[in-house]
Amino acid sequence: MSLASGGAARYLSAMSQTRPPKSLLRPVGRAIADYDMIRDGDRILLGLSGGKDSLSLLHILLHLQRHAPVRFELGAVTVDPEVEGFEPARLKPYLAELGVPYHFRAEPIMERALGHMTKDSYCSWCARMKRGTMYTTAREAGCNVLALGQHLDDLAESFLMSAFHGGRLQTMKAHYRNDDGDLRIIRPLVYVRERQLADFAASAGFPVIRDNCPACFRMPTQRAHMKALLAGEEAHNNQLFKTLLSAMRPLMDDDSHKNIYNFPFSGRKMGKC
Protein backbone atom coordinates (compact mmCIF):
# COMPACT_ATOMS: atom_id res chain seq x y z
CA MET A 1 0.00 0.00 0.00
CA SER A 2 2.95 2.34 -0.49
CA LEU A 3 2.58 5.67 -2.29
CA ALA A 4 3.32 5.81 -6.00
CA SER A 5 5.81 8.48 -7.11
CA GLY A 6 3.18 10.71 -8.74
CA GLY A 7 0.86 10.24 -5.79
CA ALA A 8 3.67 11.12 -3.42
CA ALA A 9 4.15 14.52 -5.07
CA ARG A 10 0.45 15.33 -4.87
CA TYR A 11 0.41 14.02 -1.31
CA LEU A 12 3.25 16.29 -0.19
CA SER A 13 1.53 19.31 -1.74
CA ALA A 14 -1.78 18.56 -0.06
CA MET A 15 -0.20 17.71 3.30
CA SER A 16 1.69 20.99 3.44
CA GLN A 17 -1.69 22.70 3.83
CA THR A 18 -3.19 20.26 6.35
CA ARG A 19 -0.55 19.82 9.05
CA PRO A 20 -2.35 18.72 12.23
CA PRO A 21 -1.90 21.13 15.15
CA LYS A 22 0.24 20.13 18.12
CA SER A 23 -2.90 20.21 20.27
CA LEU A 24 -4.01 17.10 18.34
CA LEU A 25 -0.64 15.45 17.74
CA ARG A 26 0.31 15.46 21.43
CA PRO A 27 -2.73 13.53 22.76
CA VAL A 28 -2.68 11.17 19.79
CA GLY A 29 1.01 10.50 20.34
CA ARG A 30 0.38 9.82 24.04
CA ALA A 31 -2.47 7.42 23.28
CA ILE A 32 -0.39 5.53 20.70
CA ALA A 33 2.47 5.21 23.19
CA ASP A 34 0.28 4.38 26.20
CA TYR A 35 -1.51 1.55 24.41
CA ASP A 36 1.26 0.42 22.02
CA MET A 37 -1.04 1.00 19.05
CA ILE A 38 1.35 1.31 16.11
CA ARG A 39 4.31 -1.02 15.65
CA ASP A 40 7.09 -1.14 13.09
CA GLY A 41 5.91 -2.73 9.85
CA ASP A 42 2.19 -2.42 10.59
CA ARG A 43 -0.19 -2.24 7.65
CA ILE A 44 -3.03 -0.05 8.86
CA LEU A 45 -6.48 0.22 7.31
CA LEU A 46 -8.44 3.30 8.41
CA GLY A 47 -12.23 3.15 8.65
CA LEU A 48 -13.14 6.33 6.76
CA SER A 49 -16.78 7.41 7.07
CA GLY A 50 -16.17 10.83 5.57
CA GLY A 51 -17.03 12.61 8.80
CA LYS A 52 -14.80 15.13 10.54
CA ASP A 53 -13.38 12.55 12.95
CA SER A 54 -12.15 9.96 10.45
CA LEU A 55 -10.88 12.61 8.01
CA SER A 56 -8.92 14.26 10.82
CA LEU A 57 -7.48 10.89 11.84
CA LEU A 58 -6.51 10.25 8.21
CA HIS A 59 -4.36 13.38 8.14
CA ILE A 60 -2.92 12.74 11.59
CA LEU A 61 -1.81 9.25 10.53
CA LEU A 62 -0.39 10.60 7.27
CA HIS A 63 1.60 13.14 9.26
CA LEU A 64 2.89 10.42 11.58
CA GLN A 65 3.75 8.26 8.59
CA ARG A 66 6.08 11.02 7.43
CA HIS A 67 7.60 11.98 10.79
CA ALA A 68 7.33 9.13 13.29
CA PRO A 69 10.32 6.80 13.77
CA VAL A 70 8.03 3.78 13.38
CA ARG A 71 7.44 2.74 9.76
CA PHE A 72 3.94 1.73 8.74
CA GLU A 73 1.70 1.63 5.67
CA LEU A 74 -1.74 3.20 5.47
CA GLY A 75 -4.88 2.60 3.46
CA ALA A 76 -8.54 3.50 3.94
CA VAL A 77 -11.94 1.84 3.56
CA THR A 78 -15.42 3.34 3.37
CA VAL A 79 -18.48 1.20 4.01
CA ASP A 80 -21.60 2.63 2.35
CA PRO A 81 -24.67 1.42 4.32
CA GLU A 82 -26.85 2.40 1.35
CA VAL A 83 -29.04 4.88 3.21
CA GLU A 84 -30.61 7.85 1.51
CA GLY A 85 -28.48 10.99 1.78
CA PHE A 86 -25.10 9.34 2.27
CA GLU A 87 -22.97 10.55 -0.63
CA PRO A 88 -19.36 9.35 -0.31
CA ALA A 89 -18.43 9.84 -3.99
CA ARG A 90 -16.10 12.76 -3.27
CA LEU A 91 -13.86 10.58 -1.10
CA LYS A 92 -12.45 8.55 -3.99
CA PRO A 93 -10.77 11.47 -5.83
CA TYR A 94 -9.71 12.98 -2.49
CA LEU A 95 -7.89 9.80 -1.42
CA ALA A 96 -6.39 9.50 -4.90
CA GLU A 97 -5.03 13.04 -4.57
CA LEU A 98 -3.42 12.08 -1.27
CA GLY A 99 -2.03 8.89 -2.78
CA VAL A 100 -3.75 6.69 -0.19
CA PRO A 101 -4.92 3.21 -1.30
CA TYR A 102 -8.70 3.26 -1.03
CA HIS A 103 -11.35 0.56 -0.76
CA PHE A 104 -15.07 1.19 -1.15
CA ARG A 105 -17.65 -1.33 0.00
CA ALA A 106 -21.43 -0.95 -0.38
CA GLU A 107 -23.66 -3.05 1.86
CA PRO A 108 -27.49 -2.76 2.26
CA ILE A 109 -27.13 -2.41 6.02
CA MET A 110 -30.25 -0.27 6.48
CA GLU A 111 -32.36 -2.77 4.57
CA ARG A 112 -31.02 -5.71 6.57
CA ALA A 113 -31.43 -3.83 9.84
CA LEU A 114 -35.21 -3.56 9.49
CA GLY A 115 -35.62 -7.21 10.41
CA HIS A 116 -33.02 -7.34 13.17
CA MET A 117 -33.20 -4.20 15.31
CA THR A 118 -35.29 -2.44 17.90
CA LYS A 119 -36.01 1.27 17.48
CA ASP A 120 -33.04 2.28 19.63
CA SER A 121 -30.43 -0.19 18.39
CA TYR A 122 -29.75 0.80 14.79
CA CYS A 123 -26.46 2.59 15.53
CA SER A 124 -24.89 -0.34 17.39
CA TRP A 125 -26.23 -2.87 14.88
CA CYS A 126 -24.92 -0.82 11.95
CA ALA A 127 -21.54 -0.41 13.64
CA ARG A 128 -21.17 -4.17 14.05
CA MET A 129 -22.08 -4.80 10.41
CA LYS A 130 -19.66 -2.13 9.19
CA ARG A 131 -16.90 -3.48 11.39
CA GLY A 132 -17.39 -6.97 9.95
CA THR A 133 -17.04 -5.58 6.43
CA MET A 134 -13.93 -3.66 7.44
CA TYR A 135 -12.39 -6.80 8.96
CA THR A 136 -12.94 -8.65 5.70
CA THR A 137 -11.47 -5.77 3.68
CA ALA A 138 -8.42 -5.55 5.96
CA ARG A 139 -7.72 -9.25 5.50
CA GLU A 140 -8.10 -9.00 1.72
CA ALA A 141 -5.74 -6.01 1.65
CA GLY A 142 -3.13 -7.76 3.80
CA CYS A 143 -3.56 -5.35 6.71
CA ASN A 144 -3.04 -6.34 10.34
CA VAL A 145 -4.46 -3.21 12.02
CA LEU A 146 -7.82 -1.45 11.72
CA ALA A 147 -7.87 2.19 12.88
CA LEU A 148 -11.16 3.74 14.02
CA GLY A 149 -11.96 7.39 14.66
CA GLN A 150 -13.83 7.39 17.97
CA HIS A 151 -12.75 10.18 20.33
CA LEU A 152 -13.00 10.98 24.04
CA ASP A 153 -16.56 12.27 23.75
CA ASP A 154 -17.60 8.96 22.17
CA LEU A 155 -15.97 7.01 24.99
CA ALA A 156 -17.70 9.13 27.64
CA GLU A 157 -21.08 8.65 25.97
CA SER A 158 -20.54 4.88 25.77
CA PHE A 159 -19.47 4.82 29.43
CA LEU A 160 -22.71 6.49 30.55
CA MET A 161 -24.87 4.35 28.26
CA SER A 162 -23.30 1.20 29.64
CA ALA A 163 -23.70 2.30 33.28
CA PHE A 164 -27.22 3.73 32.90
CA HIS A 165 -28.75 1.08 30.65
CA GLY A 166 -26.53 -1.99 30.88
CA GLY A 167 -25.47 -1.98 34.53
CA ARG A 168 -21.81 -2.32 33.53
CA LEU A 169 -18.62 -0.34 33.90
CA GLN A 170 -17.65 -0.42 30.25
CA THR A 171 -16.57 1.78 27.36
CA MET A 172 -14.77 1.46 24.03
CA LYS A 173 -11.29 -0.04 24.20
CA ALA A 174 -8.29 1.91 23.03
CA HIS A 175 -6.54 -1.13 21.54
CA TYR A 176 -7.65 -4.76 21.32
CA ARG A 177 -7.64 -7.84 19.14
CA ASN A 178 -10.70 -9.09 17.30
CA ASP A 179 -12.24 -12.41 18.32
CA ASP A 180 -10.32 -14.30 15.63
CA GLY A 181 -7.06 -12.81 16.87
CA ASP A 182 -5.77 -11.85 13.42
CA LEU A 183 -6.44 -8.11 13.55
CA ARG A 184 -5.65 -5.39 16.05
CA ILE A 185 -8.16 -2.55 16.39
CA ILE A 186 -6.85 0.84 17.51
CA ARG A 187 -8.51 4.15 18.41
CA PRO A 188 -5.75 6.80 18.36
CA LEU A 189 -8.18 9.65 19.16
CA VAL A 190 -9.24 8.39 22.62
CA TYR A 191 -7.62 11.39 24.38
CA VAL A 192 -8.97 13.95 21.88
CA ARG A 193 -12.14 16.03 22.25
CA GLU A 194 -14.70 16.15 19.47
CA ARG A 195 -14.56 19.94 19.26
CA GLN A 196 -10.81 19.78 18.53
CA LEU A 197 -11.50 17.56 15.52
CA ALA A 198 -14.31 19.83 14.34
CA ASP A 199 -11.98 22.84 14.49
CA PHE A 200 -9.22 21.03 12.58
CA ALA A 201 -11.59 19.75 9.88
CA ALA A 202 -13.10 23.20 9.41
CA SER A 203 -9.77 25.06 9.28
CA ALA A 204 -8.27 22.52 6.85
CA GLY A 205 -11.33 22.52 4.59
CA PHE A 206 -11.76 18.76 4.56
CA PRO A 207 -14.50 17.40 2.24
CA VAL A 208 -16.65 16.40 5.22
CA ILE A 209 -19.78 14.43 4.45
CA ARG A 210 -22.39 16.10 6.61
CA ASP A 211 -24.70 13.86 8.64
CA ASN A 212 -22.74 10.94 7.28
CA CYS A 213 -25.23 8.43 8.69
CA PRO A 214 -28.66 10.00 8.08
CA ALA A 215 -30.56 7.07 9.60
CA CYS A 216 -28.97 7.81 12.97
CA PHE A 217 -30.34 11.34 12.86
CA ARG A 218 -33.86 10.15 12.04
CA MET A 219 -34.06 7.54 14.80
CA PRO A 220 -34.10 8.18 18.55
CA THR A 221 -30.80 7.14 20.13
CA GLN A 222 -29.49 6.82 23.66
CA ARG A 223 -26.18 8.30 22.45
CA ALA A 224 -27.78 11.61 21.45
CA HIS A 225 -29.32 11.87 24.90
CA MET A 226 -25.97 11.16 26.59
CA LYS A 227 -24.25 13.76 24.42
CA ALA A 228 -26.76 16.39 25.55
CA LEU A 229 -26.43 15.28 29.18
CA LEU A 230 -22.64 15.59 29.09
CA ALA A 231 -22.83 19.02 27.44
CA GLY A 232 -25.10 20.24 30.21
CA GLU A 233 -22.79 18.90 32.92
CA GLU A 234 -19.68 20.33 31.27
CA ALA A 235 -21.27 23.77 31.31
CA HIS A 236 -21.01 23.59 35.13
CA ASN A 237 -17.72 21.66 35.33
CA ASN A 238 -15.00 22.43 32.80
CA GLN A 239 -12.89 19.56 34.16
CA LEU A 240 -15.62 16.99 33.45
CA PHE A 241 -13.91 15.13 30.60
CA LYS A 242 -10.56 15.16 32.39
CA THR A 243 -12.11 13.39 35.39
CA LEU A 244 -14.14 11.05 33.18
CA LEU A 245 -10.96 10.03 31.38
CA SER A 246 -9.37 9.20 34.75
CA ALA A 247 -12.39 7.07 35.62
CA MET A 248 -12.38 5.30 32.26
CA ARG A 249 -8.67 4.61 31.94
CA PRO A 250 -8.87 1.13 33.55
CA LEU A 251 -11.76 0.27 31.23
CA MET A 252 -9.92 1.29 28.06
CA ASP A 253 -7.25 -1.38 28.51
CA ASP A 254 -8.15 -4.73 26.97
CA ASP A 255 -7.40 -7.07 29.90
CA SER A 256 -8.47 -4.93 32.86
CA HIS A 257 -11.62 -3.98 30.99
CA LYS A 258 -12.78 -7.60 31.01
CA ASN A 259 -11.94 -8.07 34.67
CA ILE A 260 -13.84 -4.98 35.80
CA TYR A 261 -17.13 -5.31 33.96
CA ASN A 262 -17.36 -9.03 34.71
CA PHE A 263 -16.80 -8.52 38.45
CA PRO A 264 -19.55 -10.46 40.28
CA PHE A 265 -21.98 -8.49 42.44
CA SER A 266 -22.74 -10.28 45.69
CA GLY A 267 -26.30 -9.01 45.96
CA ARG A 268 -25.99 -8.47 49.73
CA LYS A 269 -27.90 -5.52 51.15
CA MET A 270 -25.84 -2.58 52.28
CA GLY A 271 -26.20 -1.46 55.86
CA LYS A 272 -26.94 2.09 56.89
CA CYS A 273 -24.05 4.51 56.98
Domains of the chain: 20-151+169-211 (3.40.50.620)
Q: Check residue 78 and give left, alpha or beta (phi > 0: left; psi -120 to 50: alpha).
A: beta
Mean of the per-residue pLDDT values of the chain: 84
* Residues of the chain scoring pLDDT < 70: 1-17, 85, 113-123, 211-221, 256-273
pLDDT at position 188 is 98
- b/e string for 81-119 if b means 16 or more Cβ within 10 A? bebeebebeebeebbeebbbbbbbeebebbeebeeebee
Q: Is 46 helix (H, G, I), strand (E, B) or coil?
A: strand
Residue 156 and residue 230 in contact, taking contact as beta carbons nearer than 8 Å: yes
pLDDT at position 48 is 96
d(CA 231, CA 118): 27
pLDDT at position 82 is 77
Query: In Å, how far from its chain's centre is CA 163?
Result: 21
d(CA 49, CA 18): 19
Angle, vertex CA 241, rays to CA 50 and CA 223, nearest 5: 50
What is this structure's pTM?
0.85
159 CB contacts (<8 Å, ≥6 apart)? 169, 170, 171, 244, 247, 248, 251
